[in-house]
Structures are given as structure tokens and as C-alpha cells.
Structure 1
Amino acid sequence: MSDNRFKIVFDGALLPGVESTTAKLNLAELFKSDVAAIEKLFTGRPVALKRDLSRADAETYLTALKNAGVDARIEAEQPVAFSLAETHETGSADFSRPGASPYAPPRAAVGDDLPEFADLKVFTINGRIGRLRYLAWTLVLTLAMLVAGGIISTASFAVATASPTAAIILGGVLGFALFVALVVVSVQIGVQRLHDLGWSGWLYLLNLVPLVNSVFPLLMLVLPGNAGANQYGAPPPRNSTAVKVLATLWLAFIPVMLAIVVTLGMNGYLDQLEANMDSSYESSSITTDEAGDQTVIMEDEDAQSADDAGEPVDSPEQ
């Protein structure tokens, strides 16, 4: 065995702050095995989880195990007390047999379950996506929603010519279905982004918390994901050119939308201010007219009083 080959060794130690139950569940998911088999590893006896690795491959496997919460290590190849690979080759570890070795490892080798990159799946909460792919998928989802909303509006207007009631019902049902679909896909994409950060998908519910929901989405956009594999699987594939273009368009689209919103808000404010000024001017004119009418009435009353008294009334001509 050459000196540049390495192995991953585990003796049951955990990283600080990691509970034993959590680590066993993470390992069971990572190994695609059951918890009962994983418990056989926590005896304190060194176990070679993977052998004959290059330094880069060994680092990849070690990262996955560290993210699972266990304190494994890389060692140069040398004889060890127990070998996971040898057990699989000989088939000596049969957990269903009475009297089986209490130090039997999981049935699956770690390396078999850690591909270099994970497969991409949009409509699922499993897997991982990075920042740029999160932006690209969100842009595609937004455009799809706008197109679907336009189709629903057109169909509703077409039906409204024949039956307004039917148009309202059709628009309401289709609009609600579109809203539900948007929420479901948004959650799926968001959970995959959280997985890339090594966080639980349940943290997506923080978007419902006031104040927090104004900061948390920004964290999802700016924080980098785990470089290697974590408890949610291998890292996502490298970003394609299409992903980079779509992410750039979305980043450019956001300030444009903000500018449009600000412009519309300012125009609305100016229109409201102009309407208030016009209303004030009209109120002032009405008040002047009413005062003039009042003066005329008072003059008429004085003239009537003078007639009753038999006194002449000076006219403007006199």
C-alpha cells in the first residue's frame, strides 16, 4: 500500500454539543442503514469506515461525517483492528443472526452513498441548491406565475361576457389553485436552499414571523452553502450558464421593481396632494360666494325696512 493512500477511522467519539441520538440518526441517514446497526459503531473500538482513499476523497468523506456530528479522522493506511470494507467483502456481518458480532458496521459503505454531486429535483423538499440556482428557480417560478395569472384573467374576462357570476367563480377557483401551487413550490425551493446551508427545512417557517421575515430571506440569498457533503446529501452540481444568466436577470429585476414601486408611490402621493389642493381651492371659492349672497340678502332686508318706514332709498343712480 503506497503512502499516499488514506482511510477514515471512527472510534465512537462525537463533536462537542452533538447528542448521541442525533448523531446516530444522521449516520443512519448517511449510511442508508438502520439505527440498530449504527449503534454497533459506538463501542469505542476503532472502525475503518473507508479505506484506500486519495487525500481529496478522504476529505470529502470526513466532511460528511463531521456534518453528521461524529468526530472521525483521516489516517494513513495501516492495519486496524476492524475494517468495514473487509466485513462487506467477507459477508461476516449478519445482524439478523443470533450471536453476530456486536462490532458489526452498517451494511452500506459510506463512499457508495456520497456521489460528487447530487441530482437536481425541483418538486421535492429533499436535496440541496445553491444561491444562484435559488435565484434562477425563483425567477422562473415568478414568470410562470405571471403567465398563469394572465391566462386566468383572460379566461375570466371571456366568460364574463356570457355570465359575470361564472367568471367570478372561475377566476376565484383558478386563482386559489395558482396561489397554492406557488406556495408549495416556493417552500420546496426554500427548503432545498436551507439544506444547502446545513439547516433544517423547518426554519423556513421563520418567514411567517414578523420582523424576522424581513431579514431571513436575505440570509438565504447571501450565505454560502456547505462546500462538501452534509447530512442532507452531496453538494448540488456546478452552476450552468443558464443558471448564472437567470440569477443575474433576477438580481437586476429586483432594483427595477423597487424603482417602479417607489415611482408609483410618489405619483400617487403627488396626485393626492394635487387633489387636496384643488379641494381646498374649491372650498375657499364656495365660502366667498356664500359671503357675497349674505351681503345681498342684508341689503335687501335694509331696503325692505326703509320701504316700510316710508323713507326713500338712495339708489346708485342718485
Structure 2
Amino acid sequence: MNWYLKVIKENFANFEGRARRTEYWMFCLFNCLIVFGLAILAGVFAAMDIQALSLLFMGCYMVYALLALIPSLAVTVRRLHDTGKSGWMLLIGLIPFIGSIWLLVLYATEGDQGDNQYGPDPKSLPDPA
């Protein structure tokens, strides 16, 4: 939970610097848990024909998705920076199938050791956990 809060509080719209794999994947994990939880609750209440609660949770889902968009892009760009790639490499995901696979490989790849053009190695900095 600490990594998720770090992305939201400290690096909300920070597209500069580098993000470790742990920071990126933990943010993705908590983001998915929240999104799936809200979607499941909306679906359960829709199946039970309780429209008011279903609409409430669907509204919460949409608001959260919009609020999480900028931090998601920021942590993704910083993750690409950690591998020595420009944040614009995110656009390679527009290439069907191959682009998504290539981005997944980059997200899972260990970052550059030592400093690179995007900043110091986040592994050499103190751990926030």
C-alpha cells in the first residue's frame, strides 16, 4: 500500500525521473483491485436489481478511473525512463498485439544500473517502505 500512496501523493503528475519495477507493479496491483472491486459491486447490485446502488458504484468506478489516469500515465512514463527509454515509447502500444507485448517486456525488465539520462538509479535511493 505504501507504493500506491507514494505514486498518488508524491508523484501524482511527475513525469520526470525513474520508477522501480516494484513501484510500478504495486501501483498496478492496487489500481486493479480498486477498479475490479468497484466494477464487481456495481455488477452485483445490478444483478440484484438494486439500480440506485449499482449506479452509485458505477459512478464511483468512472470517477476513480478518471482520477487515476494521470498518476497511471506518470508512473508508466517513469518506469520506461528506468529502462532508458523515452516516455513516448508508450505510444508503441498503439501497434496491435506486438506493441502491447513489447511494452510488457519493458515494464518487466530491470532498470538501468546507475544513473541514466532520466535521473539517478532509484535502487540506490533510500527505500520508502
**TM category, shorter:** 0.5 to 0.7
SS at 1:188's partner residue?
Answer: helix
**Larger proportion of strand:** 1
Matching of residue 140 in structure 1 with residue 30 in structure 2: yes
Residue number among 64, 67, 71 corresponding to 1:185 in the alignment: 71
- Superimposed CA distance per residue, residues 154-213 of structure 1 (whole angstroms, 9 cap, x where no aligned partner): 8x66xx64xx4x556545433322332344332222101011122211111222221233
Q: Aligned residues: percent identity? A: 28
Residue number in structure 1 paired with 2:82: 196
CA displacement at 1:132 relative to structure 2? 3.2
Number of aligned residue pairs: 117
Change (3 A) 1:127 1:144: farther
Higher helix share goes to which structure?
2
The structure with the larger Rg is 1
CA contact (8 A) 1:128 1:195 kept: yes
**In structure 2, how many angstroms separate the alpha carbons of the residues matched to 1:168 and 1:141?**
20
Gaps of at least 5 residues in structure 2 are 1-5
- Alignment counterpart, residue 100 of structure 2, candidates 186, 200, 214: 214
1:205 equivalenced with 2:95 (yes/no): no
**Equivalence map 1:240-279=2 (5 Å):** none
1:223 equivalent in alignment to 2:98 = no
Give the distance between the partners of 1:229 and 1:178, measured in 2 at CA.
34
Instruction: Quickly say closer, same or farther: Cα 1:175–1:137, change in 2 above 3 A.
Output: closer
- Separation (CA, whole Å) in 2 of partners of 1:173 and 1:180: 11
- Write the deviation string for residues 194-250 of structure 1: whole angstroms up to 9, x where unpaired: 11122211111222221233322332233332222222222214585x6xxxxxxxx
Q: Looking at both structures, which has the greater relative contact order when contacts are Cα pairs under 8 Å and sequence separation is at least 6?
A: 2
RMSD (Å), alpha carbons = 3.3
Q: How far, CA to CA, are the matches of 1:182 and 1:188 in structure 2?
A: 10
Structure 1 runs not aligned, ≥5 long: 1-118, 243-318
* Inter-partner Cα distance in structure 2 for 1:226 and 1:212: 23
Instruction: Please report how far the alpha carbon of residue 146 of structure 1 lies from its aligned counterpart in structure 2 after TM superposition.
Output: 3.2
Tell me: CA distance 1:208–1:234, structure 2 relative to 1, closer, same or farther (3 Å): same
Q: TM-score, normalised by structure 1?
A: 0.31
C-alpha distance in 2, partners of 1:122/1:147? 24
Q: Confirm or deny that 1:233 pairs with 2:123.
A: no
* TM-score, with structure 2 as normaliser: 0.65
Counterpart of 1:248 in structure 2 is none
